[in-house]
A and B are shown apart, each in its own frame.
Chain A
Amino acid sequence: DAGITQSPRYKITETGRQVTLMCHQTWSHSYMFWYRQDLGHGLRLIYYSAAADITDKGEVPDGYVVSRSKTENFPLTLESATRSQTSVYFCASSEEGNYGYTFGSGTRLTVV
């Protein structure tokens, strides 16, 4: 199921560095989402996008930036990484927006 891919799968970075996580989907789904998964918190929405050039904040947007210049790509940038951003990041896409989410395999990010 290679319809939605995330890269890299694993990333270690230093505090203060900028890092970008990539998400690419091949279905031309309108909706795309970024979640972070942490023990004790489940999945929390960082940012989402209803279409190209339309993005909006989710539950935990601070310290993150997104863009959506093309429908198929939705990169997530940590402007200045902090240890609290160590997490597993999941990208998802959906045509309907309210269901039918397909998730990527995740990126495990460690900030040291």
Chain B
Amino acid sequence: AQRVTQPEKLLSVFKGAPVELKCNYSYSGSPELFWYVQYSRQRLQLLLRHISRESIKGFTADLNKGETSFHLKKPFAQEEDSAMYYCALSRYSGAGSYQLTFGKGTKLSVIP
């Protein structure tokens, strides 16, 4: 079965410091991984998709199949980055259906 693990419930960093939000996964197939973000009192929104390999709001994430990781990184944290971050894995569940499995989330708090 697929699993997404985010080992840190809460991560506090100072403004301007580097940020790394950890995500590890277990999946027997070829994984498709995402990072979603939820700002206070807002809906979840897609931040990154590993296939696109783009940088959004200064965040990047590299899929490491050897370590089964998809850590989210940003070189310099900003106060507006404070939010809840979820790592998610998509798997094909048959008959044209997909399931997106989320980790438990990491709350990032950027200290001014």
Contacts and interface: CB of A to CB of B under 8 A. Distances in A.
Interface size class of chain B, counting residues whose CB lies under 8 Å from the partner chain: 20 to 34
Interface size class of chain A, counting residues whose CB lies under 8 Å from the partner chain: 20 to 34
Contacts of B68: none
Given A99-B49, A104-B43, A106-B43, A42 B96 contact: no
Contacts of B44: 43, 90, 92, 101, 103
Contacts, number: 62
- Most chain A beta carbons < 10 A, residue from B44, B45, B46, B92: B44
User: B interface, by DSSP: helix, strand, loop or mixed?
Assistant: strand
A31 B92 CA distance: 13
Interface stretch (B13-21, B55-63, B74-82, B102-110): B102-110
Given A58-B99, A97-B97, A42 B90 contact: no
Interface in B32-76: 32, 34, 36, 42-46, 49
Q: Which 3 A-B pairs have the closest CB atoms?
A: A42-B104, A97-B98, A43-B102
